[in-house]
Amino acid sequence: MQKLRARKGFTLVELLIVIVIIGILVGAMLLSSGSATDTAKASAIVSGLRNLKGAAIMFLADNIDMTESEISAAGISALAKYMDKDKDTVTTGFVLVADAAEGIFVGANVDGAGVRDKLAGQAKSAGLMNSHQERTDNEIADNLYTSADSVAYVRVR
């Protein structure tokens, strides 16, 4: 009778199968982590807009006599002293728009299609608009932020 020899390792086919399975899992993880990154960036933009809106309200309360042109000239950097975080990073990528006819808005420049898609999904609940022009109630749906827009605005006043 022949003795069966015990195997001392894996065959090449077994190793290749394991490598392919690991590759598929890594690929799936990278796809989902990209989506998570876009969601995090979109949430950071919405949070930044809300913080800047609060800072703009405080700025306007302290400078009640300023005209819209003076507010525009002061720009987003004027809100920095009303922020509790690192003032330079909080205002980077954001804009302050003041128009006598339309009102006062803060906006965020949005980079990346994935981030734009995530923001478009949050537009209604977060009050994101695609322009800094006031709309009537019938036109509000036309003014919501969409993934085609490069700047998201929130109305301050």
Query: For residue range 52-107, what is the model confidence (pLDDT) as tens digits?
Result: 888 889 988 998 888 888 888 888 888 888 887 665 556 678 888 887 777 888 88
Instruction: Identify the residue whose tokens are 């998201």.
Output: 152
* pLDDT at position 21: 94
Cα–Cα distances (Å) from 138 to 121, 134, 135, 141, 143, in that order, read 21, 11, 8, 7, 10
Query: Which tokens belong to 11?
Result: 């065959």
**Phi/psi of residue 129, each to 5°?**
-120, 160
* pLDDT at position 91: 66
Which residues have C-beta within 8 Å of that of residue 106, sequence separation ≥ 6?
Answer: 49, 52, 53, 56, 76, 79, 94, 95, 96, 97, 153, 154, 156
* pLDDT at position 38: 85
Q: Is the pTM of this model over 0.85?
A: no
Confidence of residue 16 (pLDDT cuts 50, 70, 90): very high
End-to-end CA distance of the chain: 93
Strand bridging mode 151-155 / 94-99: unpaired
* pLDDT at position 111: 85
For residue 148, give the DSSP letter.
T
145 by Cβ neighbours in 10 Å (0-12 / 13-18 / 19+) ranks as buried
Confidence of residue 4 (pLDDT cuts 50, 70, 90): low
pLDDT digits (tens, 9 = 90+) for 31-55: 777 677 888 888 888 888 888 888 8
Report the alpha-carbon distance of residue 79 to residue 41 in Å, rounded. Answer: 22
As a whole number, the mean pLDDT across the chain is 80
So where are the chain's domains?
A: 13-155
Query: Which tokens belong to 48?
Result: 């930044």
* pLDDT at position 19: 94
